[in-house]
Amino acid sequence: MSFEPQTEPVGAAGASATLGRRRVLRGLGGIAGFIVTIALTFLGLLAITFFIGRVIPIDPVLSVVGDRATAAVYEAARVAMGLDQPLPVQFANYVADVLSGDLGRSVSTGRPVIQDLSRFFPATLEMATIGILIGVALGVPMGVTAASRQGSWTDQVIRVVGLLGYSVPAFWLGLVGLAVFYARLRWVGGPGRLDIFYDGLVPPVTGLILVDSLIAGDIDIFWNAVTHLVLPASVLGFFSLAYIARMTRSFMLDQLSQEYVTTARVKGVPERLVIWRHAFNPIRVPLITVIGLSYAGLLEGSVMIETVFSWPGIGNYLTTALLNADMNAVLGATLVIGAVFIFINKISDVLYRVLDPRAR
């Protein structure tokens, strides 16, 4: 008696190999499409920032040479800056400079704009990140609680908090916070990222003062930075909390009215599981968009907070650049903010695919 080894049919093996190749090609196509989408979006952002710089009624040449310069000096500076060339050529040069990391030199600081942005943007990133963490940690549970207790006094209180977040001016809330928690109660630090005698003692590694102080092993500076950060981050977190709680409540009310939730309750599923497993899971995908947009808004819209708290972030830098007609700094900061929006949107798309198999 002889035994033949069991082998997979040739047709099945060929089909399996073909399916594997298709999956690989589909994955490569998705990666290529992702890269092309980012490239085209970034190119559009470059076009917008370029033409904003040409439309704004501010003469970049005068901001360099001054309004008392002679016509010969003005024309020489204009030629040196490439502004005598046709717009398509100027745009091509602008794109090439940006891709090489050259955003020009700031008139206000005298340093390259890319160097200024690497210094100021981490401060905004740190404050906005703590703010969005506060907003998510409080806003999501508040929205779920309000929806699950619709019409109760808890729901009414949470809705009032959300209304205040939409209606109270950011600068007013920041000033009140400084007057109460800093000037009166002395619970938090004052304006700025650190007390003045700590400034410059921590070597900048990441630009995030909390991280850099831990890397340096200086706990005193870490806690001093926390006392300065907690109030502006809480103010930002309050505004993101209001938006996140309101949208979470809306999403949850829609899910709680669905038949599958009613069926789960009829079957005797505990209410906690009905809310957090059956009703909350489907809203995770739209919540990603809400949280992403809120985070990008904090990074872009913290100008008032940075001004009130003398926070050395990109919003404060952009305001100073606008007041000084520093177009290189204005366009560089605008480009960074736009790139942040693109990056966060693409991260949201990736999370969509992770959380929702239907989007893959």
Q: Which of 107-111, 127-131, 204-208, 298-302 has the lowest mean pLDDT?
A: 298-302
User: Of 291, 353, 351, 336, which Cα lies nearest the Cα of 42?
Assistant: 336
Tokens of 253: 């009310």
Which range has the worst mean pLDDT, 8-12, 67-71, 93-97?
A: 8-12
**What is the biggest distance separating any 2 CA atoms in the chain, rounded to whole angstroms?**
107
Q: Mean pLDDT across the chain, nearest whole number?
A: 83
Q: Which pLDDT value is given to residue 238?
A: 92
Confidence grade of residue 140 (pLDDT, cut at 50, 70, 90):
very high
The residue among 221, 164, 169, 175 whose CA lies nearest residue 198 is 221
pLDDT tens string 207-258: 898 999 999 888 999 999 999 999 999 999 998 999 999 999 999 999 888 8
> For position 252, what pLDDT does the model report?
92
Helix axes of 314-323 and 113-148: crossing angle, nearest 10 degrees: 120
Q: Which amino acid is at 200?
A: G
Q: Are residues 145 and 246 in contact, defined by beta-carbon separation less than 8 angstroms?
A: no
User: Helix 284-300 to helix 219-256 angle, to the nearest 10 degrees?
Assistant: 140
- pLDDT mean over 97-112: 83
- Considering only CA atoms, which of 163, 321, 133 is closest in space to residue 242? 163
Nearest in space to 279 (alpha carbons), one of 261, 293, 262: 261
Number of H helices, E strands in the chain: 15, 0
User: Which pLDDT does position 54 carry in this prediction?
Assistant: 72
154 touches 146 (CB < 8 A): yes
Predicted confidence (pLDDT) per residue in 282-336, tens digit = 888 889 888 988 888 888 767 888 888 989 888 888 888 877 777 788 888 888 8
Share of the chain above pLDDT 70, in %: 90
**Helix, strand and coil percent figures for the chain, each rounded to 5:** 75, 0, 25
- What single letter denotes the amino acid at residue 316? N
Give the percent of the chain with pLDDT over 90.
21
Is residue 228 within 8 Å of residue 123, measured between CB atoms?
Answer: no
In the predicted structure, residue 17 carries a pLDDT above the cut 70: no
